[in-house]
Amino acid sequence: MSDTDEKEAMSAEEQAMMDEWAEMAGDEDGDGGGDADAVSADAEDEDDGEDDGDNARILNQDEIDSLLGFDDDSDDGSENSGVMALINSAMVNYERLPMLDIVFDRLVRLMSTSLRNLTSDNVEVSLDQVSTVRFGDYINSIPLPAMLSVFKAEEWDNNGLMVTDSALIYSIVDVLLGGRKGESSIRVEGRPYTTIESKLVEKMIHVTLTDLSSAFDPLSPVSFNLDRVETNPRFATITQSGNACVLTRLRVDMGDRGGRMEILIPYATLEPIRELLLQMFMGEKFGRDSIWETHLTEELHKTDVQLQAVLGEMAVPLGEMLNWKVGDQIMLNRHTNEDIELRCGQFPMFKGPVGQRQGHIAVRIEEYIEPDGDGMNQ
């Protein structure tokens, strides 16, 4: 059979197989036809290429706001989502300081008593929140007018910031000057605080700083002293804008009057007592077990230690030492009245003279050999 006949026979077989597949596809109630249509549709889509680009889905404004974290419809007070959540997530990485909650709870109790004595009025102080913020973000978010009090932690050699809002300023001035109870304080916006107002508020700030010092006393004695009072946030910069700080929000209520006070302490200020603030409760030993330490100390005192009395030392060539015989005498360069050295292993411990006691050679310890800089003598 020639090559032409073979090609004609193969094409006839292929045509027969294609006809058989077409008949099978038609007998399946359109199922196979649907698959074929899908394949052909996919092929058409591939052929169209970029011609269908106009049919791509475009995000609307609400979806864009949700992606960027600016969704105004959420009233539940939840944290930002989307891109804003990724930006602000860096603050979560700062370590938690459990003892700070206890310190500020103690501060609330102390302030309630101190402000009652200062104002001779019923004062309620409550702790709203203890959070972590960047210093620059907080400075830009302070509602003005306000008094920004920069204080210094003397023992820690660093600064902190106390912000008193306008409502609390006028409330404390009204109370200290004998304002009537049950009436809200009159606010005069658009003017700087007078000297009298500043001095009256400074009295409250001094009382608060004294209570803050007392709140830290169980952990570490510290004195918080007022450095200066500013009304412009630019002049109250105490650390770099990107540094993390602990922000404590306090609410002070005096009947129908009151306002907010915020205490900002940078992490750098708290660094000297960081180990103490990591405690879960007061007096935690960070993994130390005093019972086990006492038991180990008692057992070490019962341990037997071998001491070697070194009468003398000399360097001898190996060849000479190999020629030694029984009865040979070795002359050491020592006198009988010289102190000898007692060693524990390779480490010198004591020195003292040699003598006899109850028929035995004895050494009387008279000098303790101090270890060298590495904690041992070589």
Give the domain CATH number at 224: 3.40.1550.10
What six digits make up the tokens of 361?
């050679």
> What is the CB neighbour count within 10 angstroms for residue 345?
11
CATH of the domain at 348: 2.30.330.10
Boundary-marking domain end, from 277, 293, 316: 277
The answer on pLDDT for 77 being more than 60 is no
User: Contact at 8 Å (CB) between 69 and 88?
Assistant: no
* Residue 108 DSSP class: H
Domain span at residue 144 reads 93-277
Does residue 35 belong to any structural domain of this protein?
no
Sheet hosting strand 308-310, strand order edge to edge: 308-310, 340-344, 347-352, 367-368
User: Band of the pLDDT at 298, cuts 50, 70, 90?
Assistant: confident
For tokens 């959420």, name the residue: 74
- Average pLDDT of span 101-112: 90
263 & 309 share domain: no
Stretch among 35-39, 94-98, 159-163, 242-246 having the lowest mean pLDDT: 35-39
Does residue 146 belong to any structural domain of this protein?
yes
| pLDDT at site 56 | 66
- pLDDT, averaged across the chain: 77
| pLDDT at site 151 | 92
231 & 98 share domain: yes
| pLDDT at site 46 | 47
Domain total in the chain? 2
Q: How many residues are present in the chain?
A: 378
Stretch among 49-63, 105-119, 313-327 having the lowest mean pLDDT: 49-63
Distances from the Cα of 39 to the Cα of 46, 47, 183, 196, 301, angstroms? 11, 12, 80, 86, 88
User: Band of the pLDDT at 197, cuts 50, 70, 90?
Assistant: confident
Stretch among 64-73, 135-144, 269-278 having the lowest mean pLDDT: 64-73
236 & 170 share domain: yes
Report the alpha-carbon distance of residue 277 to residue 96 in Å, rounded: 9
Q: Does residue 133 sit in helix, strand or coil? A: strand
